[in-house]
């Protein structure tokens, strides 16, 4: 198989795993990295034997067919639009964009240009969640009727060196971690038609206890404890709780799916592997289900590799821009419902991503 030539924009911490995994896939090869700090890009490039560029240089390199956009969320839309205008396919880190209007603009431009656009997270393509999806699709828990998802933690000011962003517009627990949970739920149960929510700023001010900003104060601008109700097109109903306000260790499961014939305990959607357990109707104990799919280790870039394979094969890709936009609208919808005291009716939808083929080795996408 030929490989799509890829350039990464954004040489921050997360670029490391994309660079490490990037050229292990059968469908793509990372050939360049760019950053506003060109020296940082050059240093990363030298470590991996690729080209180090300015953003302008990468955009005009005719060898770069696809951009992986690892910039900060506020720059996701502008960088994606510029890459599309340069004739390059784009795969962007989560969230797809910050606003719904930006997401609509990116998708419309990609369609106009006849280019692919995709979005993280791609953890739902890992062996853990792919196994869970197959168990549901094969009817092991019967007809899905409900789901719960929980992401509860203390504030990032305890450990992050620059935690201010998490409490500013575009941050908060829903936009920080919600994409993992909501993408997993949509991958398992399909699109969402209506959401409801409650949200609260529990502490208007936070004190940083990490270094190097220990003792500095943060004014909290976004809700930090958010509960949502999700109505799925398939008829199932879900709940999601995300919080930065729970300093103690939560014992709640990450995700559970409830069906007419049993309950499925789903692994942490921030990882690619994890344990899957099932308790079927009439059983006295939980049973562990072995992984049926590969890529249970840290396989960041799996979604980009699947998109590269889709470009080569002329098919749809799984971690699509439509999926990223749908999840973004769900998150905004929950906040809107909380602020306005009413249901939010979803305007977007998406295809439920197809399962990966069984029997493929790690880092092989076809």
Confidence of residue 248 (pLDDT cuts 50, 70, 90): confident
Query: Cα–Cα distance between 270 and 251 in angstroms, integer?
Result: 17
How crowded is residue 85: how many other Cβ atoms within 10 Å of its Cβ? 12
Quick one: 8 exposed, middle or buried, by C-beta within 10 A (0-12, 13-18, 19+)? buried
Q: What is the 3-state secondary structure (H, E, C) of 250-317?
A: CCCCCEEEEECCEEEEECCCCCCCCCEEEEECCCCCCEEECCCCCCCCCCCCHHHHHHHHHHHHCCCC
Both tokens assigned to 175: 């936009």
For the chain, the average pLDDT equals: 95
Query: Cα–Cα distance between 31 and 37 in angstroms, integer?
Result: 18
- Of the candidate ranges 61-75, 160-174, 317-331, the one whose mean pLDDT is the lowest: 160-174
Query: Cα–Cα distance between 337 and 198 in angstroms, integer?
Result: 7
DSSP secondary structure code for residue 123 in this structure: G
pLDDT at site 301: 96
**Residue 302 pLDDT > 90:** yes
Q: Mind listing the pLDDT tens digit for each residue in 58-111?
A: 999 999 999 999 998 899 999 999 999 999 999 999 999 999 999 999 999 999
Compute the average pLDDT of residues 197-207. Answer: 96
Q: Mind listing the pLDDT tens digit for each residue in 122-158?
A: 999 999 999 999 999 999 999 999 999 999 999 999 9
**Residue 362 pLDDT > 90:** no
pLDDT at site 1: 62
Confidence of residue 161 (pLDDT cuts 50, 70, 90): confident
Whether the model clears a pTM of 0.75, i.e. scores above it, the answer is yes
What the chain holds in terms of domains, given with CATH numbers, is: 4-119 (3.40.50.720), 130-289 (3.30.360.10)
């Amino acid at each position: 198989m030929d490989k799509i030539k890829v350039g990464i924009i954004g040489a921050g911490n997360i670029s490391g795993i994309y660079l490490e995994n990037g050229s292990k896939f059968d469908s793509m090869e990372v050939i360049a990295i760019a950053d506003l700090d060109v020296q940082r890009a050059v240093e990363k490039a030298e470590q991996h034997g690729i080209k180090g560029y300015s953003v302008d240089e990468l955009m005009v390199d005719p060898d770069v067919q696809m951009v992986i956009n690892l910039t900060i969320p506020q720059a996701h839309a502008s960088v994606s639009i510029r890459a599309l205008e340069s004739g390059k396919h784009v795969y962007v880190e989560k969230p797809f964009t910050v606003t719904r209007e930006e997401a609509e603009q990116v998708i419309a431009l990609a369609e106009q240009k006849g280019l692919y656009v995709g979005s993280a997270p791609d953890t739902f393509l890992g062996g853990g969640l792919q196994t869970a999806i197959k168990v549901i699709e094969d009817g092991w828990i019967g007809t899905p009727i409900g789901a719960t998802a929980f992401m509860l933690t203390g504030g990032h000011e305890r450990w992050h060196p620059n935690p201010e962003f998490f409490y500013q517009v575009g941050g908060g627990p829903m936009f920080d971690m919600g994409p993992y949970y909501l993408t997993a739920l949509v991958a398992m149960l399909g699109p969402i038609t209506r959401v409801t929510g409650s949200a609260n700023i529990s502490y208007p001010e936070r004190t940083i206890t990490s270094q190097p900003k220990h003792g500095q104060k943060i004014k909290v601008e976004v809700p930090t404890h958010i509960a949502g109700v999700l109505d799925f097109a398939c008829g199932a109903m879900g709940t999601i709780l995300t919080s930065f306000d729970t300093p103690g260790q939560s014992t709640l499961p990450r995700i559970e799916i409830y069906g007419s014939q049993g309950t499925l305990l789903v692994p942490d959607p921030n990882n690619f592997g994890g344990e899957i357990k099932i308790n079927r109707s009439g059983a006295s104990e939980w049973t562990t289900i072995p992984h049926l799919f590969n890529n249970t280790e840290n396989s960041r870039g799996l979604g980009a590799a699947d998109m590269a394979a889709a470009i080569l094969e002329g098919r749809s890709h799984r971690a699509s821009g439509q999926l990223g936009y749908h999840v973004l609208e769900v998150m905004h919808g929950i906040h809107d419902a909380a602020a306005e005291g009413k249901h939010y009716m979803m305007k977007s939808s998406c295809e439920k991503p197809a399962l990966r083929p069984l029997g493929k080795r790690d880092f092989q996408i076809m």
